[in-house]
Structure 1
Amino acid sequence: VARATFEAIALQIADVFFAMEKDMGSPLTGLLADGGASANSFMMQLQSDILDRPVSRGDQAEVGAMGVARMALQALGIGAETSGHAGTQNFIPGQLAGAERDRISRRWAEAVTRVTS
């Protein structure tokens, strides 16, 4: 069940990622991840393997929330200290064989088609 949950998250993100590539008309070179799930190294490696692209995550899981908080403080005239450039950890595709990635992606597409038809 846990593996299926991780795959569903990674595949939903992949759907958006590939739709962005299609809309832009050019490939994206990787993904910069944040949010709660990005704290899980297994999830980030799986995401990299599903996308077949590098995935990087910073040492702050909620970068968006931190940015909003900083902007709110600035709007109130309160200086917000910055901690400098966050460190990143990179995940490179390669843990999942191409045939396995294709099988997972194909089963996902079939399941999405079944529930949307």
Structure 2
Amino acid sequence: MLRVAEIGATRDSYIYRLRMPAPLRAQWDEYCEKKGKKSAATLRTLIRYMIQDDIPPEVRHWISEQTEGKADSGPKERVVVRLTPTEYQAITTRAVSEGCSPQRWVSTAFGPA
């Protein structure tokens, strides 16, 4: 039996992948559990809220402060890491699946949160 799609989530819906620091995820899970909401449904609601562009100015300002990163200054530092063939293949596979180079994947996976 087919299930009824909730909030427009169907089999052809796009899946977003998101890296979230563990403490923030714990807070998010606790919030959703306390409110009796599913995390995915709550995220869809937040996205719709932002798209409607009906956000109070103080909230919009706070969001922009949270999402705008500050650029690093100074030259890049070089690090050489030796990997086994299996480790290298694992990193390369993850990078390709996420649409980036192995170097970019490592720098974003272990860079500042």
TM above 0.5, yes or no, is: no
Alignment TM-score, normalising by the size of structure 1: 0.20
Alignment TM-score, normalising by the size of structure 2: 0.21
Greater RCO, 1 or 2 (C-alpha within 8 Å, sep 6+)? 1
Q: Which is higher, the Rg of structure 1 or of structure 2?
A: 2
